[in-house]
Structure 1
Amino acid sequence: MGDFALTTFSSSGKLNQIEYAQKAVENGETCVGIKVKDGVVLAVEKKLNSVLIDETSFRKIQHLGQHVGVSYAGIGPDFRVLNQKARKTVQKYWLQYREPVSVESLCRQTAATVQEFTQSGGVRPFGVSLLVAGLDEDGPHLYQLDPSGAYYGWKATAIGKNMKNAKTFLEKRYNPDNSIEDAINIALSTLKEGYQGTMDSTNVEIGYISRESKKFVVLTTEQIKDYLANIQ
């Protein structure tokens, strides 16, 4: 029963259900985030189960608000639930204060929801990790939220099945003074390093926010195609 008892610690001091949720993340497609002086970039693998699926109906990078975007590794439906909760947080803050919620505050409130599911009966932990990229009055931010409810700010990080190799690659390539263009190229190179098969504009997504635009933008397939041509 120990493995199924959500709120019972194992003899090693762990909650096994959290470990299983983290395994779901590690089996997910790789997602990379890079923060530079001018903004933040997210890049994620997007593999479809069938060639018959309309790829435009499936998005792994989403807007939470004009100034913040999110991607994930893990279970897609779990991401959808957290995505909707985070969007409500953004809208409630705007209606109350008439200004955008800070990225850190948004992540803290979302992480609190995730943490509740690690100690409540009748539910299970979310099998998903999030990378949140945003810009507020304190500058650009990149946060990672894990199934335990922990959240951290990062300069560059990766989640998903190839995260260890991706982080090693980022440690060698990361430079905080890089431009957004450089960060996009590095993010794609990081994904390509561990990609099984041929990477093209239909199986990868890229989003970014810059100090110049101040809006989170998801690139089109044509724009991604141009970037992929530069790293080949």
Structure 2
Amino acid sequence: MFRNQYDTDVTTWSPAGRLFQVEYAMEAVKQGAAAVGLRSASHIVLATVNKAASDLSSYQKKVFKIDDHIGVAIAGLTADGRVLSRYLRNECINHAFVYESPLPVSRLVVRLADKAQVCTQRSWKRPYGVGLLVAGLDETGAHLYYNCPSGNYFEYQAFAIGSRSQAAKTFLERKFEFFNNYSRDELIIDAIFAIKETLQGEKLTSAICTVAVVGKDEAFHLIDQKIIQELIDAMEIKEDVPADQAPVPDDDGSSGAAPMDI
């Protein structure tokens, strides 16, 4: 993208009917570190790449708890992500205080979309340069939404945003039809696999990966880094084992291996 006479503010339309400031904000999402979301009938998993600005700095937090039943993962400008996360927390707190019940996920997503859309019609504001994957569970079930800087929002079974997210999308598109029947542990493993796809050859470790989960009878929380590293090590061992030496499935279709406590 390049600077031109039609991108001085967000209310200036180009002759082709484009708002360049909004497109710049959406490009900021594409340049951010990758974030992945998957949902089943009872659980939602978020995973992100922890990308440091330099070898001398630590990474910035990309997964935020909004309420016990809602969490978000961001890609793009982290500062904008923190501002919107604080806004979402306030909305959940106010709703719980007035109605004494959790805020439905769909209603929270609409409020977030409205807030983002206002920034596309005010010349003294700029669009938020961050995309949010909103994961939540309410009375209607598990939900995963993507909120775009343009003010649009979409619900997905699985989705990926950020840098090199297309590789993760390709992986998710091959398997998303089965996610609805997945267990919690299977969702977490596939989320790590999807994050690994975005690294394109770079070694995956728990130090550069954050995974969070929310589900029935389970509040939103981050999974311990030691457990993530154990899963990554187990995945690498499985990939190195030749097909003729793989575990023989039992009669019920399982491999006979004991499930890991995640």
TM-score category (smaller protein): over 0.9
Which runs of 5 or more residues in structure 1 are unaligned? none
* Runs of 4+ residues deviating >4 angstroms: none
Q: Look up the SS of the partner of 1:141 in the other structure.
A: strand
Paired residue for 1:36?
A: 40
Paired residue for 1:169?
A: 171
From 199, 208, 214, give the equivalent of 1:203. 208
Paired residue for 1:124?
A: 126
Identity of aligned residues (%): 34
Larger Rg: 2
Cα pair 2:80 2:128 within 8 Å, conserved: yes
Paired residue for 1:46?
A: 50
Pairing of 1:76-225 with structure 2 (within 5 A)? 76-174=78-176, 175=178, 176-196=180-200, 197-213=202-218, 215-225=219-229
TM-score calculated relative to the size of structure 2: 0.84
Measured after TM superposition, the shift of residue 54 of structure 1 is 5.0
Segment of structure 1 superposing worse, 194-203 or 85-94? 194-203
Q: Look up the SS of the partner of 2:217 in the other structure.
A: coil
Measured after TM superposition, the shift of residue 91 of structure 1 is 0.6
Cα pair 1:173 1:186 within 8 Å, conserved: no
Q: Look up the SS of the partner of 2:89 in the other structure.
A: helix
Separation (CA, whole Å) in 1 of partners of 2:153 and 2:94: 22
Structure possessing the higher relative contact order (Cα contacts under 8 Å, 6 or more residues apart)? 1
Which runs of 5 or more residues in structure 2 are unaligned? 237-262
Paired residue for 2:244?
A: none
- What does the per-residue CA deviation read over 1:44-82, in whole Å, with 9 as the maximum and x for residues that have no partner? 000112444456xx4211100111000111011010111
**Number of equivalent positions:** 229
- What does the per-residue CA deviation read over 1:56-111, in whole Å, with 9 as the maximum and x for residues that have no partner? xx421110011100011101101011111111101110111011100001111011
Measured after TM superposition, the shift of residue 121 of structure 1 is 2.1
Separation (CA, whole Å) in 1 of partners of 2:27 and 2:111: 24
Separation (CA, whole Å) in 2 of partners of 1:212 and 1:86: 22
Q: Look up the SS of the partner of 1:208 in the other structure.
A: strand
Segment of structure 1 superposing worse, 204-213 or 23-32? 204-213
